[in-house]
Amino acid sequence: MSSRLMNRTNPALAGFVLMCLLCVLGGFTASAQAHPYHESSLELEWNAEAQQWEASLRVLPEDLEDALQFQLGQRVDLIHSENIDQHILRYVRKRLQLVALDQQGKASANQTAQWQWQGKEVSHKAAWIFLTLAAPPPPVKMRNTLMFEVQESQINRVFYRVQGKRIPFDFPAHHGGTVQELLPPQ
């Protein structure tokens, strides 16, 4: 009796098992090709002694490569492409700005400070970019549109450190790079 059961194939059951296998394998393939979220995280702190902003930016390597490819019009690799640090710095300077505010809270017309490169670390999970910016001190307004041109679902999180507190701000792409005001310590 068991040999008869083993020799018979139920076409409906076989079809169901095949469909389940295809769904599982298709899910693994899709998850390997793309990730479901697009987020950057920026730790930002004013160093009063050095009179500069210090920033640690964490991004997904493939998202940064997509943004640089969009900017340069050619494929890039964060580890092997020539002059990649200069390309990243140029991109960050264009997409992440701090503008000094006057006593009335209006943007200062004379903003010449540029982010300065301090280094990067790249792994398959994250790319860390380290930057400094000499002046302006708080209060400032920040504009953050990193990767908005390549990811509609991009969210840029900023954690402003002031007097031992970590104050979060979100810059979602669907808001077009909302400007946030960072105040001095009270």
pLDDT tens figures, 83-128: 999 999 999 999 999 888 877 777 776 666 799 999 999 999 999 9
User: How far apart are alpha carbons 110 and 47 in whole angstroms?
Assistant: 21
Q: Please, are residues 97 and 143 in contact by the beta-carbon 8 Å criterion?
A: yes
Q: What is the mean pLDDT of the chain?
A: 81
Helices assigned H by DSSP within 2-83: 2-7, 11-33, 61-72
Task: Please tell me the predicted confidence (pLDDT) of residue 15.
Answer: 59
Q: At what angle do helices 61-72 and 84-95 cross, to 10 degrees?
A: 90
pLDDT at 33: 44
Q: Supply the pLDDT for residue 16.
A: 58
Q: What's the token pair of residue 160?
A: 């402003």
Q: What is the mean pLDDT of residues 165-184?
A: 79
Residue 102: per-residue pLDDT: 74
Q: CA geometry: angle at 154 spanning 123 and 98, to 5°?
A: 90
> What three-state secondary structure class fits 56?
strand
Backbone CA torsion sign across 128, 32, 155, 159 = negative
Is residue 147 pLDDT above 60, yes or no? Answer: yes
Lowest mean pLDDT among 6-15, 76-85, 153-162: 6-15
| Global pTM value | 0.76
Residue 171: count of CB within 10 angstroms of its CB: 24
